[in-house]
Structures are given as C-alpha cells and as structure tokens.
Amino acid sequence: TVTIDKIAAGEVIERPASVVKELAENAIDAGATAIVVEIQDGGISLIRIADNGCGIAREEVPNAFLRHSTSKIRSVEDLVHIGSLGFRGEALSSIAAVSQVELITKTGEQTFGTRYRIDGGRKVDIEDTGARDGTTFLIRQLFYNVPARRKFLKTPMTEASHVGDLMTRLALSHPEISFQFINNGQSKLHTSGNGSLKDVIYHVYGREIASNLLRSEFSSQGIRITGFLGKPLISRGNRNFENYFINGRYVKNQIVSKAIEDAYKDFSMQHKYPFVVLHMEIDGEGVDVNVHPAKMEIRFHNQQEVYNRVYEAVNKGLHAEEL
C-alpha cells in the first residue's frame, strides 16, 4: 500500500541524492552507456534522469512501481548474490510514494514509447508517446506529501552538492559510461564514457592531480585492486580525496582508509591523507554488504586480512615508482 511504501521510502530515500543514486543504478543495470542527470533547486523541485538503456516494456511499467517487484532476480544463483547487488525492488515504489513521478520509456522492440504518471504512489495515467529507446524519469516535488521529511532537507545548494558528489563517484566507478550532470541549467560534469579511469580523474580533479598518478594493480588471496594512487608529493587535509569502490560500490570504511593511510605514512613520514581512486573486488564471502544497501557502510568478515591486502597493494604501488 501507499502507506507502507511511504514508510519504506524513509529507509531508502533520504534526499534528492538518494533518488538520483537509485535511478542511476537502475540505468546502469539497464545497460545504459550515457546517463544525463538534471536538477532544479537542489533536486527538490525537479530531478530529471535520462538513460539510453533497455527501456521498460509497456505492460511492465505499472508493475515496476510495485514494492518488491524486480526484474533482476532470475535464478537461485542471483538470490545468493542478492545482497551484494542490492537488488531489492523497492526504489521505484518508494520514490513514487513521496513525489510526483513522470516516466517516459521505450524498448527497442516497441514502435511507441510509454508515458506513465504516478503521484504519491497513485497512478494518474498511462499513454503512448513518441520516445527514443531508453528511459527518462522526472521526479517532481520530492516529499511534497511528507512535510516532516521535506523540512529536514538542507538548502538547495547543499542538496545540489550532494548530487554533485554522487555524480563524481558514479563517473569514477563507471568510466565506460558517459555521465552528464546539469544543475539549474549549468553543465557541471560531462564525462566521455571512453572507459579510461584516468580521463575521468582528469575531468573531475584537473591536470595537477591527473599528471601525478601511479597505477595500482594487485591481486592476492581473493582480493583484486586496480586504480590510481596520487604520488606521495602532496598530502591532503582530509579524507575527501580517498575514493574507493568495493565490488562496484562507493563506501567509507575505517579499516580500508587506515590501511591506505598507513601505507602512505610508512612510505613518507609526514604523509596524512592521500588522493586515491581504487577499485577493489573482494570475493563475496569476504564482505558483508547487507549492512545497509542504500548507505556507504560495509563490513568485512576478516578485517585483518582486508587491512593486510590493501596495505600491501598500496605499498607495492608506491614503491613501483622507483623502478
């Protein structure tokens, strides 16, 4: 029911950035190679997200907004991985419960697209429309029917910066997808999608950082780490430049941060916080990502093991420079 969806929305949807995160992950799952996100007033009055993915067949459109409806679990094998993939089929129902949604979508097989509107979880109308292949969501007036939540939103500027940070992370985690972010009509980020992580880093952080990188390639005992380490020339004032993705998910974790910082410190005494962009693949049994799929927390079954491997990877990467 709408009430339960509204409660569920409290779990998943905290602010405009959480809406963008869920919809962008859906676009990625749909095989999109280009994703455009546009917001007005920090995303509070409008979020528009357009992808060129597989689209949703007309007969599936209303179902997609039902709680626990997901097209992504097909086998027992998938069920085993359900946590790590974050497939839980409640993003659309949650978003629709607390906003006014307009969806335009078309699959490759269909001649016409579908336009669907749903307000506060209640269907308004569904009709044919001309559309390109792919999916566009318009989310208007977030939390218009949950004043208590709306009150907790920060200023449009702050909400926009949360969306901007998210877009940066999405671009860094998927160099093979072109991401564009437009805030109040101004383009803030536009990556090429050519697959080069270094190009994304250049685009986001500029020449200075991009031309002082060491490549990191490491694989041992169920952990694979690839990406870039900032040369230990410049120490940063905080952890904001430590970007790491574990099994595709952007996370913050004490153990991982500590391992990275310790490796830098041992390499160069005064070094505090480095710049890194690392992708880590850890075998399913090594991580417990069920902590909260919408948040950035991650738990490890064997913390010491993870610490050692990450330390080793960064240490090796830093010393490789001298070869």
CB of 295 to Mg ion, least distance (A): 15
DSSP state for residue 213 in the 8-state scheme: E
Q: Which is nearer to ligand ADP, 62 or 164 (CB)?
A: 62
Looking at residues 6 to 35 of the shown chain, list those that interact with Mg ion (rule: CB under 5 A).
26
- Count interface residues toward Mg ion (CB under 5 A): 2
CB of 200 to Mg ion, least distance (A): 23
Binds 54: which of ligand ADP, Mg ion, none (CB < 5-8 Å by kind): ligand ADP
Which residues touch 21 (CB under 8 Å, ≥6 apart)?
A: 166, 294
Give the CA angle between residues 293, 163, 10 to the nearest 5°: 45
Looking at residues 34 to 93 of the shown chain, list those that interact with Mg ion (rule: CB under 5 A).
91
Residue of 298, 299, 310 whose CA lies nearest to 258: 310
Q: Which is nearer to ligand ADP, 63 or 220 (CB)?
A: 63
Question: Contact letters (x/-) for Mg ion, 223-262, by CB under 5 A?
Answer: ----------------------------------------
Strands 134-140 and 46-51: antiparallel
The binding site for ligand ADP (CB under 6 A) comprises 22, 26-27, 30, 51, 53-56, 64, 69-72, 87-92, 135
Q: How far apart are the first and last CA of the chain?
A: 63
Binds 252: which of Mg ion, ligand ADP, none (CB < 5-8 Å by kind): none
Residue of 57, 68, 166 whose CA lies nearest to 103: 57
DSSP state for residue 236 in the 8-state scheme: B
Sign of the alpha-carbon torsion through 309, 315, 321, 323: negative
Q: Which is nearer to ligand ADP, 104 or 280 (CB)?
A: 104
- Residues in contact with Mg ion by CB under 5 A are 26, 91
